[in-house]
């Protein structure tokens, strides 16, 4: 069996994250953000500013920095990628022409994500054509959703064109289901409500370890109020906007200028909104918490109850006031925080006698690396 570290590549809309995994742990991590103009590169202790016009240039710069730190591409056993939309693919896969074709076919379903994911794959294939590459899909974890949860109420010939609910953040939710038993020292709760709260947000109803419902749908736009995405909005409102302003402008509005940014009139970062304490920022926070709580009730109904809550993601892990607001909104479940533990960001958040409430650190890159190793070590 070939040995060597695994390089995990997570390409977002304006950033690329890298992580080097060896022996089950992160040995080195870094990123480039600000892609599309003047950006910043960080890799371990190395930091510098630069112009990164596109994802290929950003990844090439990161790989050069890796090589300068003694980790050329030839040192890696494989490269493993996060791909937001797997389309028809419902399990991690080695990258073959057929798998790449499926990822390209899903571009209309995730136009803001899959092209960037493919850019990372194609750049590595060009620079290291013999390096095995794998992909893990954010949609795959939700393949266990029942048909009632995934079908929109549209005619069959429309559904056949891929118009259905897919769900996202699946890599994060899969990692959470593995990590929570280690964290709690107990089996995974039978009915777990997982809250992935960050710039993108979604909730997942996890019953017996499997996703049965989630808030995102056809694309990562729907569901909760997010950093710059509108979340839930009536289809006729979208059609009206598209008729008045055009499809391109409406797509940009709903994905990049809405959510917390639209409500606050500026900031989309939760830390900035909490610090600002203006009428607009308070309303944006109220909206975020209200819709997280309201959607939580829907997912709890889909599971027939709930046995535990688990927060993850940048906001879920770090914003104590937001966790407090959401849990208070679910007090009717018997959920009650230990306020000292919440303020400290402790893993166990629940007060005595409460429904269990946990913080589970996001571990998407570790899950992607584990998927890659499982594929590489599978019998031929």
Q: Which residues are tagged catalytic? A: 138
Helix-, strand-, coil-residue percentages of the chain, each rounded to 5: 45, 20, 35
Reduce the DSSP state of residue 219 to 3 states and report it. coil
Under 8 Å between Cβ of 133 and 79: yes
Reduce the DSSP state of residue 79 to 3 states and report it. strand
End-to-end CA distance of the chain: 12
| Alpha helix segments (H runs only) across 160-211 | 170-184
Name residue, tokens 């259905």.
164
Find, among 38, 39, 32, 41, the residue nearest to 9 by Cα. Answer: 32
Strand order in the sheet with 308-312: 210-214, 201-207, 191-197, 308-312, 357-359
Written in H, E and C, the secondary structure of 337-363 is: ECHHHHHHCCCECECCCCCCEEECCCC
Number of alpha carbons in the 13 Å side-chain half-sphere of residue 305: 6
Find, among 311, 323, 293, the residue nearest to 362 by Cα. Answer: 311
How far is it, in rounded angstroms, from Cα 229 to Cα 32? 22
């Amino acid at each position: 069996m070939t040995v060597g570290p695994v390089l995990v590549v997570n390409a977002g809309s304006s950033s690329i994250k890298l992580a080097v995994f060896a022996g089950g742990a992160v040995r080195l991590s870094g990123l480039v953000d600000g892609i599309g103009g003047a950006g910043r590169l960080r890799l371990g202790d190395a930091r510098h500013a630069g112009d990164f016009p596109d994802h290929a240039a950003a990844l090439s710069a990161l790989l050069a920095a890796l090589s300068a730190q003694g980790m050329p591409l030839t040192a890696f056993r494989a490269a493993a990628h996060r791909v937001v939309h797997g389309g028809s693919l419902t399990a991690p896969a080695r990258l073959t022409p057929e798998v790449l074709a499926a990822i390209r076919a899903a571009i209309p379903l995730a136009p803001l994500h899959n092209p960037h994911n493919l850019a990372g794959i194609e750049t590595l294939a060009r620079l290291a054509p013999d390096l095995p590459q794998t992909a893990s899909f954010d949609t795959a974890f939700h393949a266990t959703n029942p048909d009632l949860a995934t079908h929109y109420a549209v005619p069959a010939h429309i559904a056949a064109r891929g118009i259905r609910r897919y769900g996202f953040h699946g890599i994060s939710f899969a990692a959470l289901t593995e990590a929570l038993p280690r964290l709690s020292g107990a089996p995974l709760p039978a009915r777990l409500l997982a809250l992935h709260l960050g710039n993108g947000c979604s909730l997942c109803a996890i019953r017996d370890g499997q996703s049965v419902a989630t808030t995102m749908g056809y694309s990562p736009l729907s569901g909760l109020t997010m950093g710059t995405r509108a979340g839930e909005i009536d289809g006729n409102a979208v059609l009206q906007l598209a008729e008045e302003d055009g499809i391109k402008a409406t797509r940009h509005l709903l994905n990049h200028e809405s959510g917390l940014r639209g409500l606050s009139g500026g900031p989309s970062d939760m830390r900035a909104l909490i610090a600002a304490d203006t009428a607009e920022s308070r309303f944006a926070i109220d909206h975020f918490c209200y819709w997280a709580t309201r959607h939580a009730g829907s997912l709890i109904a889909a599971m027939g109850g709930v046995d535990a809550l688990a927060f993850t993601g940048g906001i879920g892990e770090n914003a104590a006031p937001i966790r407090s607001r959401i849990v208070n909104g679910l007090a009717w479940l018997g959920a009650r925080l230990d306020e000292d533990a919440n303020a400290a960001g402790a893993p166990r958040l629940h007060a005595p006698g409460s429904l269990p409430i946990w913080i589970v650190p996001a571990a998407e890159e570790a899950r992607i690396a584990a998927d890659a190793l499982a594929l590489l070590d599978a019998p031929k």
